[in-house]
Amino acid sequence: MFDPPEYVDWKPDSGVIDEFENTLKSDPDRAGIIASLTEKQLLGMYTGLLRFRLHDITLRRWVKRGVLAKAWLGTGEEAVTIGNVHALDRTIDKVGPMIRNAGACHEMGISLADMLREYLATADSPSKGRDLHVGSMSNGVIAPASQVGALIPVFAGIALAMKQRGEKAVALTWNGDGATKTTAFHEGMNLAAVLHVPAIYVLQNNQIALGTKLEQNQRGPFTAWAKAYGVTALACAGNNVLDTYAATRLAADLARSGRGPVIIFAETFRMGGHATHDEREAREIFPASVFEYWGKRDPIGMYECHLERRGIGKSTLEELEQSVIDEIVCAENDALKSREADMPNAAALTLDVYDAQDAAPAERSSKPKQPKADSTRKMPSR
């Protein structure tokens, strides 16, 4: 009942499944990467997709029950995030998700319970109740900022630090189609390009910026951004987790070899509203045929068909699905227990916040005080 209507009783369309399979064969380099994947890697992406979808369903259910006022979801776009993250070296690489890339957090190692606690603003959440944008430096996740596009220059700086230290790590962040029109995006992309930093920028085109369709905010082709900055570009079918994975592996290899930054263009679709509060309005912006088209391309349903074609039994997939459901239920229960027992104390609001006044008191007291400027001094005449 919490899925988009197009996903209820989803059945594979033979033409769409053939399209999925043909995409995997269309590029020899990507086909080689995909063919080399082990069953463990394939199923790891499957559980990642399920974990992401069920995390969002939990949030949607909480909104319906009044636990939350609203939530921002990635339903229908899961394959972009999961394919990207699984193609990285998660022991050294860094990611900066948008709020619609929540799957990056749990696939980088942040617990689902902590992600749900962040939405509930509990005292034991990663931000101690300050912010629903979840991150963890120890897990390689830089928390998103509310201002879309803001992480583009931040990740240029992170990637520059990696380059200067001689590290083989890469920094990957996401940006929506609408946020490509922001100042931060242009400044950050230009800086990254000029300095040749090992960054990957995933431009996630879900066809709409809040309530503005792509053709209403951009005249030229979406893929033109790479030429504008003189950087390498790769494109992928954003609802095809394996194509996204392979494109990201190629991008990471380029970035690690000193040929970054790289842009990945991922075509996908937002199967709901900007958040849960405007889902009805979102369906008034596009005709029903658009939702029908993308609904047939459910990234989880298509991937299940591929795995079965690859010889992985349906019973194996069902067992994995049940294990993820159990994981989600446990995380939800733990988060709700924190909500009842561990809400923030206002007195702790300023703890763990950098304060220049408290940074180095001994050093500060040893410095001679500077005389105040004479406000009566006249400026020289021209």
The per-residue pLDDT for 212 is 87
What tens digit of pLDDT does each residue of 57-111 get? Answer: 999 999 999 999 999 999 999 999 999 999 999 999 999 999 899 999 999 999 9
Q: What does each C-alpha distance from 150 to 44, 155, 184 come to in angstroms? A: 30, 9, 6
**Pair of tokens at residue 34:** 């995909």
Above 90 in pLDDT, residue 364?
Answer: no
Cross-strand pairs, 171 = 94, 199
pTM above 0.75, yes or no: yes
Question: Do 206 and 277 contact (CB within 8 A), yes or no?
Answer: no
Average pLDDT over residues 126-136: 89
- Residue-wise pLDDT for 207-236, tens only, equals 988 888 888 888 888 888 999 999 999 999
Token reading at 97: 């998700």
Where are any strands of DSSP class E within 35-134?
94-96
Q: What pLDDT score was predicted for residue 269? A: 95
**Is pLDDT above 60 for 32?**
yes
Side chain identity, residue 122: T
Q: Identify the band that residue 358 occupies on the pLDDT scale cut at 50, 70 and 90.
A: low
Average pLDDT over residues 256-278: 94
Contact between 124 and 344 (Cβ < 8 Å): no
Among the residue ranges 12-26, 49-63, 120-134, the one predicted with the least confidence is 120-134
What integer pLDDT is reported at residue 366 of this predicted model? 47
**370 pLDDT exceeds 70?**
no
Summarised one tens digit per residue, pLDDT across range 335-352 is 999 999 878 888 777 777
Nearest to 249, CA basis, from 271, 77, 297, 241: 241
Contact 95, 104 (CB under 8 A): yes
Express as a percent the part of the chain with pLDDT over 90: 75
Residue 357 scores a pLDDT above 80:
no
